[in-house]
Amino acid sequence: MTRIIFYSGEPAHFCTMQMIITIHTRISRLLEYDRDRVIQALTELNAKFARLKNPLLRRLLVNRVSIADACRISNTPVADFMRSMEEIGFCIDGKVPPEAQAGLAEISPGFTEPLDYLEIDVRPILANGKDPLKEILASVKLLEEGQGLKLFNSFEPTPLIRLLAGKGFNWRVDRVAPDLVVTCFYSAGKIDESVVMTEPAVVTDDQLFDQALAGFPVNKLIYIDVRELQMPGPMLAILEQTPAITDGKALFVYHKKIPVYLLPELEKLGLSYIFKAKEPGDVHMLIYKK
């Protein structure tokens, strides 16, 4: 059955997908209705959405990313995004203004409020171009019984949520303001510190890096520079290139830091990596098949 929504002062719009979407709708919900049409429409809107064709990126992101998040990451106007979805049959809730991102909470199944929180604000760390994972994991180690971790950030820390959820933590995400996201973590059971505190092994060796690099002809190297991208742009850009890393080929990444969140995902793909630290803010990364 065709559904009609009337906008105040606007023409009627015919919706064929019988689904009303807002800026808080997850990208996964759009893809469930018609993956190919949605991806085609979004790619025509902004070439950056072509990454949705990559099964790995879809698995990592679409269940966690809302329309508002996708527009921010891809630098796409919300109005243009909504218009493109309306053109292929989605119903648009015009009562929700694009800037109204505050006040929406997302809670994992089983989340309960702890008695107390240990708070950490990672925005100053990120502003200095550093990765806050070490400080976050150190805070997890300090948690007492009945205490949770409250993280203040400027965006939803999707990789961290995946990491801690895999260690038994439940979570809640509160979008307090467009530039402030508060994520709460709590584990009712005993925290296995030996597991939580384990960081991926990072090899930083100039000589080994040069030896590994010399094993790939120039025409077998793919170069990418992610130093100027805002998070989570570097991770997305690198993962987008992973299907091209076949036997005999390697990805050379110019990065400003070691992307510790990314390393477990590379290992799941059977990829190896090695780093060469040129100077602060300039790290070379080589990714290749094991």
**What would the mean pLDDT of 44-62 be, rounded to a whole number?**
81
Please state, for a pLDDT cut of 70, what percent of the chain lies above it: 82
pTM: 0.56
126 close to 231: Cβ distance less than 8 angstroms: yes
pLDDT of the residue at 43: 94
Please state, for a pLDDT cut of 90, what percent of the chain lies above it: 27
| 104 or 70, which is more confident | 70
**What is the distance between the alpha carbons of residues 154 and 23, in angstroms, rounded to a whole number?**
18
pLDDT of the residue at 61: 67
Determine the straight-line distance between the first and last CA of the chain, rounded to whole angstroms.
53
pLDDT of the residue at 16: 63
Q: Quick: pLDDT tens for 15-37.
A: 666 678 888 788 888 988 889 99
| 137 or 9, which is more confident | 137
Kindly write down the DSSP assignment for every residue of 3-64, as one continuous string: EEE--TTS--EEESS--EE-TTSBHHHHHHHHHHHHHHHHHHH-GGGGGGGSHHHHHHHTTT
**What is the distance between the alpha carbons of residues 183 and 155, in angstroms, rounded to a whole number?**
10
Domain boundaries, the chain: 3-92, 104-196, 206-289
User: What is the largest distance, in Å, between two alpha-carbon atoms of the chain?
Assistant: 67
Residues 6+ away with beta carbon under 8 Å from 54: 239, 240, 243
pLDDT band at 94 (very low <50, low <70, confident <90, very high): low
pLDDT of the residue at 278: 77
Kindly report the backbone phi and psi dihedral angles of residue 203, in degrees, each rounded to the nearest multiple of 5, phi listed first: -100, 115
| 46 or 188, which is more confident | 46
257 close to 283: Cβ distance less than 8 angstroms: yes
Cα distances (angstroms) measured from residue 179 to each of 53, 69, 175, 247: 29, 11, 8, 42
**What is the distance between the alpha carbons of residues 212 and 22, in angstroms, rounded to a whole number?**
48
**What is the distance between the alpha carbons of residues 87 and 106, in angstroms, rounded to a whole number?**
29
Domain 3-92, CATH 1.10.3910.10 — does that match? yes
pLDDT band at 287 (very low <50, low <70, confident <90, very high): very high
Kindly report the backbone phi and psi dihedral angles of residue 68, in degrees, each rounded to the nearest multiple of 5, phi listed first: -60, -40
pLDDT band at 213 (very low <50, low <70, confident <90, very high): very high
Of all helices (H) and strands (E), which one includes residue 135?
helix 133-142
For domain 206-289, which CATH number applies: 1.10.260.40, 1.10.3720.10, 3.30.450.20, 3.30.110.40?
A: 3.30.110.40
Q: Quick: pLDDT tens for 220-277.
A: 999 999 988 876 778 888 988 888 898 889 999 999 888 877 887 888 888 999 999 8
pLDDT of the residue at 116: 92
Locate 264 and state its tokens: 């477990």
